[in-house]
Structures are given as structure tokens and as C-alpha cells.
Chains A and B, each alone.
Chain A
């Protein structure tokens, strides 16, 4: 199988590698947020996508802040350990798509994000901008690559049909 062949990306080793990269990023990103759910909730508020609003109150963004870091951790570990790889990669891809949408929304609304909350909750963390969108898009592609079904194995050589076996010459 040559590297020029697109099917090469569906080799188990390549797919594990793509998933492990995404998984490592997710595990690293989850650490600070798990340690400080309230701090992460304040970051979620600033994006203004999940709330809080007068209609929905504080539960949606607070619940998201509590649950998302654990989803990152669990998904990341599954990808690194190559367990349930396709499913975990799809979840990771969904997360990346959500992050891209959130950052794009913040930029479109002119929200001054002093720290995206990606890897740290400190105000001096990575800012929400085009470079962040590009990075998340790259991780999305890796996640989709890891989610592809593995390449089908080459079919085995077909056996000789019955009755055609070589027989000793008749006397």
C-alpha cells in the first residue's frame, strides 16, 4: 500500500496516531477546567452561546461547564488507548466543530475574549481568533480521519472450484 494512496490514511497505525494527537490535546485541555468548574463557567458565560439568559437561567452554561471537561478527558483517554476509536473520534470531532462555532460567534459579535478557556482559565490564555479556529480545524480533520472506517483487507485468493483438482493420469 503506497503512501500516495488515500487508503493509506486508513491504516490502523495512522488512524491511531491521528486519534492519539487529538486525544492528547483533549486530555491536556481538560485539566484546568476539571480543577475549577466555577472558573470555567465564567468563561462559558463570556461566549454568550449557552447563556445565561433571562429565559433559560444559569443551568445550561453551568451544566456545560461541569460536564464538558470530563467529556474531553474521557474522549481523549479513549483515543489515546485506541478504545472505541471511531466513536470517540466522532465525539472529538463534534467538540471541535462546537469550539469553532463558539469562537466564530464571539468574533462575529465583537466579544472581547481575554482568554479562550482552551487550556487555561487565566485571563492571559490563548485569545479567541483566527489562529485558534485554524488549530481547531486541524484537530477536526484529524478526528475525522481517525473516525473513518478502517481499510478493507485485500480479498484472499479464491480456492479452485470442486471437481477440477489435478488427478493422476488414467492408466
Chain B
């Protein structure tokens, strides 16, 4: 009698994998919180759109971590470009203003976008604290907050 394929064995392997994976993830010091953003590391601040809007009203400086061409097309009013893929030249250009500002918010293009976290981390490495806008520019626009479009004047 030839051994036939047993779907129950496949189910057992997948079930045990789930159990081991979720169990190890819960016990591991480097586990990922299932409901949280894995881009967010310890010590980093992520703020929701309403909080960002309030800070914007109080004069916070917003930084756009997307590629520069995206900032030229659409952006949060008053924001400066600090693209993650071309960080150094823009940082050097805006460094005096960044060091003189104590309320900075970085944003990018939303879920799955790591650029804002990377830019915030690089600023922190240089002694400049910045929060990250949770869910990025889409959260801002979905909330109906104002945006600027087209090349800056």
C-alpha cells in the first residue's frame, strides 16, 4: 500500500508553526507587538493626526521624509523637505532651523512607509528630537486637514 498524501499532517505542521511562532514572539525580547507598528522603536514618539494638527496650529515644524518630488506635488502647509533618500544635503541646508525648533513632526506616505521613522532616528542621532505622524500624510488628508499642492512659491 503506497503512502497517500495526508492533509491532516499539513494542518498539524501549520498549527504547530503558529503555536511556536506566536509563543516565541510573546516570550522573545525582540518580539513584535502584534497590534503595533514594527517600525516604531523604543524611545520614538508617534502621534495621531489630531495631535499633529494641534501641534501644527502651535507652530510645530513639519518635515516631509518622502522623495523631494513628492513634497513638490503635495505637502502639509509650511513643511520642509527632508527626504530619507537624500538626507544629508537637505539636513545641512536646514540644520540651523532644525536645531532652533523644539517641536518637530516628520511624516511620509502612510502605512508601511519607514522613511519618517528613519529620518526621525537620524535626527535623534544628531541630537534633534522629532515625533512621527502616525499613518503619515494619508491620515492628515483623510481627516480633512489642509494641504498645499504644486511647486512652492
Contacts and interface: CB of A to CB of B under 8 A. Distances in A.
A116 to B, nearest CB: 16
B138 A54 contact: yes
Interface in B80-131: 110-112, 114
In this complex, the interface size class of chain B, counting residues with CB under 8 Å from chain A, is: 35 or more
Q: Is the interface of B mostly helix, strand, loop or mixed?
A: loop
Interface stretch (A40-48, A127-135, A136-144, A160-168): A40-48
A44 to B, nearest CB: 8
A16 B118 CA distance: 45
B35 A59 contact: yes
Interface in A57-92: 57-59, 61-63, 65-71, 74-75, 78, 84, 86-88, 90-91
B10 A74 contact: no
Interface stretch (B17-25, B50-58, B70-78, B143-151): B17-25
Interface in B26-46: 28, 30-39
A121 to B, nearest CB: 10
B37 A52 contact: yes
B6 to A, nearest CB: 6
Contact of A86 (B5, B37, B38, B39): B5
Contact of B112 (A45, A59, A67, A70): A45
B151 to A, nearest CB: 24
